């Protein structure tokens, strides 16, 4: 490497070190930074200008208490992490992706796949050790192996085929897929993938997979359905032998707040109505849940569910008359 390249590398390393220092505490004086970097205050000023050119908002103020301060910009620039910070961040993201942090799954997994690109091999074992030593009593999302989640996330990111064992109605067998996207519900993680043996898109529950491995074959991504709506329809409707649709006379946001996304999908019709779609082995259960939402509704399909509504209404009216209930005079007096 020539002398010019050595000088450029030294400057780059020094500027990155300066950025790390500015991220560690709120204010540094010029002499303090010069002493930490082993350069003159004039060099510090030039390096600060280099950071500004890269988009980092470094502010400078004069007088007592003044100095250099890393401000907040319009865009999020890269952060520099030391070994301890990287380990703690990776462990926190793994817990969030695995469901220990409520509602953080999707964002945690996206951030984790970015960190995975740059995390040194020497730190991976420490991350795995710490993750294995932490548990949660939160009973929300079904727990899964973080290594499985990361294997699938890498395969989605790098367009690599994946293989795993998966149970069906008859037996557990091998599946070969082109993984497209991991999707989190309020309870579980799902993989949207193109099943190579069945030549169609499929949704897989990650907690049901075993022997998960990323293959060496890369694939060209094919046109895919919108991941979140496709998976939600698959797990709330298409997975069941019976499907039902209802027109709810209430805003979609109101109904979504009452119905878990893993139980039904809600689609707005207009400002005051929405369509609820769900499936079940027994549609009476779906009908009861819809009735208990407390809104006026109409059955859209199947037609036979209308007759079930009338039968249920008759049963409730009969129960409401209370013909077999004791009157108030028949009840024992309380002391």
Query: HEC profile for 156-206?
Result: HHHCEEEEEEEECCCCEEEEEEEEEEEEECCCCEEEEEEECCCCEEEEEEH
Stated pTM of the model? 0.58
Half-sphere exposure of 329 (CA within 13 A, CB side): 0
CA 35 to chain centre: 44
Q: End-to-end alpha-carbon separation of the chain, Å? A: 97
Question: Considering only 77-91, 98-112, 197-211, which range has the smallest mean pLDDT?
Answer: 98-112
* Range with lowest mean pLDDT among 110-124, 144-158, 294-308: 110-124
Confidence of residue 162 (pLDDT cuts 50, 70, 90): very high
d(CA 17, CA 12): 9
Q: Which helix (H) or strand (E) holds 122?
A: helix 121-132
Between 144 and 243, where is the model more confident?
A: 243
Directed axis angle between helix 105-118 and helix 146-158, to 10°?
70
Q: Kindly indicate the confidence band of residue 132, based on its pLDDT and cuts at 50, 70 and 90.
A: low
Tokens 């208990």 sit at which residue? 292
Contacts (Cβ under 8 Å, ≥6 apart) of 202: 177, 192, 193, 194, 195
Cα–Cα distance measured from residue 288 to residue 78, given in angstroms and rounded to the nearest whole number: 51
Mean pLDDT value across residues 122-146: 63
- How far is the CA of 250 from the CAs of 101, 108, 174, 285, in angstroms? 31, 33, 45, 21
Opening angle at CA 167, ends 166 and 171, nearest 5? 125
CB atoms within 10 A of CB 210: 12
- Nearest residue to 167 (alpha-carbon basis) of 135, 210, 217: 210
Percentage above 90 pLDDT, the chain: 30
pLDDT, mean over the chain: 80
Coil, helix or strand at residue 262: coil
The least confident of 124-133, 265-274, 279-288 is 124-133
Instruction: State the Cα–Cα distance between residues 108 and 4, nearest whole angstrom.
Output: 41
């Amino acid at each position: 490497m020539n002398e010019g390249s050595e000088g450029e590398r030294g400057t780059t390393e020094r500027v990155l070190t300066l950025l790390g220092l500015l991220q560690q505490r709120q204010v540094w004086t010029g002499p303090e930074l010069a002493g930490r970097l082993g350069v003159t205050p004039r060099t510090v000023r030039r390096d600060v200008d280099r950071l500004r050119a890269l988009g980092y908002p470094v502010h400078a103020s004069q007088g007592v208490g003044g100095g250099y301060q890393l401000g907040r910009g319009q865009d999020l620039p890269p952060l520099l992490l030391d070994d301890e910070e990287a380990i703690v961040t990776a462990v926190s993201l793994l817990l969030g992706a695995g469901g220990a942090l409520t509602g953080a799954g999707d964002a945690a997994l996206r951030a984790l796949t970015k960190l995975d690109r740059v995390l040194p091999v020497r730190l991976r074992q420490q991350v795995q050790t710490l993750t294995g030593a932490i548990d949660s009593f939160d009973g929300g999302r079904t727990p899964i192996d973080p290594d499985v989640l990361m294997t699938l996330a890498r395969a989605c990111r790098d367009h690599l085929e994946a293989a795993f064992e998966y149970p069906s109605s008859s037996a557990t067998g091998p599946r070969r897929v082109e993984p497209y996207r991991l999707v989190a519900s309020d309870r579980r993680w799902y993989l949207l993938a193109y099943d190579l043996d069945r030549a169609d898109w499929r949704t897989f529950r990650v907690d049901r997979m075993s022997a998960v491995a990323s293959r060496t074959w890369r694939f060209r991504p094919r046109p895919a359905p919108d991941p979140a709506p496709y998976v939600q329809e698959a797990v709330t409707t298409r997975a069941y032998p019976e499907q039902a649709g209802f027109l709810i006379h209430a805003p979609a946001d109101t109904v979504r707040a009452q119905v878990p996304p893993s139980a039904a999908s809600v689609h707005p019709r207009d400002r005051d109505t929405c369509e609820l779609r769900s499936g079940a082995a027994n549609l009476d259960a779906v009908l009861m849940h819809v009735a208990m939402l407390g809104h006026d509704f109409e059955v859209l399909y199947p037609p036979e569910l209308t007759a079930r509504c009338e039968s249920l209404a008759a049963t409730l009216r009969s129960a409401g008359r209370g013909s077999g209930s004791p009157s108030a005079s028949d009840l024992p007096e309380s002391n």
